[in-house]
Amino acid sequence: MQASATWVDANITTDLCKFANPTLDCSLSNANGDPNSTTAPAGTRFPNSPRFKAAATGRYEFDLGVFEASLQGSLLHQTSSQPSVDTAEAALLGTQTAYTTVDLSAGLRRDRWSLTLAAQNLFDERGQQVRTASCAIALCGPSAIQVFPIRPRLISLRLAWRY
């Protein structure tokens, strides 16, 4: 049995300005006189950092007649996250939603061969690894949003011979 979990409190501690300056004052214009603004207030979470993520795996090996058998299960859960530290951009991109996946496998082994039946993402969860845009959404529109999903359900049967 193995399990791990992380709790991440990743927030910016000062306002993030459109134009950086030594005093971190978002009301000061840049060197060209362009007006500054706050793109993310203090306390905004870092992008792509879920607050909580956990994984657990259990494996049981046993004799089954003339075979060495195994059963294994894994569970992974991740909370939602924002795709950008810029609050206006994050609102346009949308939230990367929380997801949970389950993987299962069963196997038999004897002498030099093995047979394994496995299912990854058994319930076909449509989690998102990343949400981003290929160019500024204000310029290119919502069609610029790209979502990179986790692997969909995959069921496999593997027969192996060790030589």
Q: What is the DSSP string of 71-132?
A: EEEEEEEE--B-S-SSHHHHHHH--B--EEEEEEEEEEEETTEEEEEEEESTT----EEEEE
Band of residue 117 on the pLDDT scale cut at 50, 70, 90: very high
pLDDT digits (tens, 9 = 90+) for 76-115: 999 999 999 999 889 999 999 999 999 999 999 999 999 9
Band of residue 3 on the pLDDT scale cut at 50, 70, 90: very high
Cα–Cα distance for residue pair 61/1, rounded to 1 Å: 12
Report the C-alpha dihedral over residues 120, 126, 131, 136, rounded to 10 degrees.
Answer: 140
Q: Average per-residue pLDDT in the chain? A: 94
* Cβ neighbourhood burial of 143 (10 Å; 0-12, 13-18, 19+): exposed
